[in-house]
Structure formats: structure tokens, C-alpha cells
Amino acid sequence: MIFQVDNKNVFASDSGKGIDKKKLTIILLHGSGLSHIVWSLTEQYLSNQNYNVLAIDLPGHGNSEGDCLKSIEEISDWLEKVFKELNIYEIIMIGHSQGCLEILEYYSKYSTRVKSLIFVGGSYRMPVNQDLIDLAEDGDDKAVQLMMKWSYENSKKFIGGNPVEKIINSPRDIREILAIDLIACNNYKNGSEALKSINCPTLFIFGELDKMVNLEKGKKFAELIPNSETHIIKDCGHMIMFEKAFEMREKISEFLKK
């Protein structure tokens, strides 16, 4: 699906089904430097369970036009423009990593649209190692290698190569997309206030071996949201939707049926 926001084309993968106004819409938001592709094993599965599903490419990412937005706050306001443009009024938001900050900030401003929140491998504050930021700003592919090292329980298990390298595959991608996203995550400070507004059904999914959002940090986040649910995936790192997609999507489906 392609539509326009601020006179720029926006791409959202919709399983080829478009938007049925009678259904709830699930919004899938990718992490830093990535795109809708990360949700390929999840999107169709959820679409087959009577939901509209939109895996959105943020500006400058994937197939969406424009420059990357430089803050989590800007992204949350841009998302509201997306939903207004598409006339979507009831949404379920699922974010991974940076996407968790985005759904947290969005909810704090525009909660009336949101029926439930699902945080995958995220927290309310995500400081980024300065060495990683420096490498990314230089367009150095070592930035992607560091992400792989810190993200995966075992990056060697991916047949055909690591999927992150296939999405972030040029110095330009690293410098103009990944670096901007990492800085946005590092600079986001409103999470501790934003989480206080959450009063909808909320699910947290964490990888037991996640090195970017370690389990202890994740649990502390979840404990701050009353009546939330938490699922921990064993033998899994940060890139949950690649490493343990089947278990993750099944838990999401179970949660949404309650």
C-alpha cells in the first residue's frame, strides 16, 4: 500500500488485503535502520486472523520517501498523520526496539485510537553506546556488525546470511538512516513520564538472552505498567521476530484474543 503524508509517499505492507473498516488494525513498527521486511513472518499470520495489518516503513526507510525523522516525538506525530490519512480509528500497536519508544510516545499523546500495546524487545529508555553512534555516523559497516553482535543470541544460525545486513547494506544506509535512528533513541527522555499514561491491555515480549535490552531492564519496564502481561522467549536475543518468530506471533495472537 502506498499513500501520501506531507506530500511524500509512504509504504505500508498490508498482506495485499488493504483496509477493511470493520476490522481492528494492527500497526507494526520496525526498529532502528530497518524496514517492514522484519515483520514478514508475522504480518500474514496476523492478517489471517481477521485483522487489518500494516507494517509501516518510516520516512526514509524501506520504500517510504523523505528524510528520516530525527526524534521519537516527531515520529509519534507523523504516525498520527498516517492514521488520519488512512481514516483508521481503532488500532493495536506493536513495536520492536525503537518501535517500542514510538508506540509509548504515541500513546501518551493520542491514546484514544489505541486498544492495546505490545512491546517487543524494548524499554522506556534506550541509551545507545557512543562507539556505535560514531561508527554509524561515519557510515562504517562495523556499526552493523556491532548491532549483530549485541542483538542476536547466535547470529551464525541464519541460513543465507544475517537479515540485518540485507536491509542495512550500504554506507549511505548506515550514515543517513541507522545513525539518525540511533541518535533518536539515545536522545529520547520522555519514556518515564509517557508510561504513566498507559491504561490499556499491554503485553511485553523479551528475549531471554537479549544484550541490547537485557531481561532485567525489560522486566523493570513491565512492572511499571499495571496489569500488563510478560512473555519471555528462551534462547533468544534482541531480534525476536527473526529468531523466534513463530513463538512470538503465537503469543501475540493469544493475547489479542483475550
What are the φ and ψ backbone dihedral angles of 230, each rounded to 5 degrees?
-130, 135
Burial bucket for residue 255 (CB in 10 Å: 0-12, 13-18, 19+): middle
CA distances from 201 to 56, 207, 240, 258 (A): 22, 21, 21, 10
181-210 mean pLDDT: 96
Q: Tell me: pLDDT of 103 over 70.
A: yes
Top-confidence residue, 157 or 95? 95
Instruction: Provide the pLDDT confidence category of residue 242 given band limits of 50, 70 and 90.
Output: confident
The C-alpha cell at 56 is 509501516
**Between 77 and 157, residue with greater pLDDT:** 77
Cα separation, 93 vs 124, whole angstroms: 15
**220, 239, 240: which is closest to 230 by C-alpha?**
220
- Domain locations along the chain: 2-126+189-257
More confident residue, 94 or 153: 94
Asked whether the predicted pLDDT for residue 153 surpasses 70, the reply is no
Which range among 27-31, 164-168, 179-183, 222-226 shows the weakest confidence by mean pLDDT? 164-168
pLDDT attached to residue 87: 95
Beta carbons of 67 and 59 less than 8 angstroms apart: yes
Question: What is the grid cell recorded at 215?
Answer: 531481561
Quote the Cα angle for 136-119-191, to 5°: 70
- C-alpha distances (whole Å) from 13 to each of 64, 75, 204, 217, 239 are 11, 18, 24, 31, 20
pLDDT interval class at 258 (50, 70, 90): confident
CB within 8 A of 35, min separation 6: which ones? 57, 61, 62, 63, 167
Please say whether the beta carbons of 140 and 172 come within 8 A: no
Render pLDDT for 36-51 as a digit per residue (tens, 0 to 9): 999 999 999 999 999 9
pLDDT at 161: 61
Note the pLDDT tens digit of each residue in 49-78: 999 999 999 999 999 999 999 999 999 999
The CATH architecture of the domain made up of 2-126+189-257 is: 3-Layer(aba) Sandwich (3.40)
199: left (phi over 0), alpha (psi -120 to 50) or beta: alpha
56 vs 98: CA distance, rounded Å: 13
**How many C-alpha atoms does 201 have within 13 Å on its Cβ side?**
10
At 250, list the grid cell: 503465537
User: CA angle, 200 as apex, 249 and 227 as ends, to 5°?
Assistant: 85
Lowest-pLDDT range of 150-154, 214-218, 251-255: 150-154
Residues linked to residue 2 through DSSP beta bridges, in sequence order: 11
Spatial distance between the Cα atoms of 239 and 237, rounded to a whole number of angstroms? 6
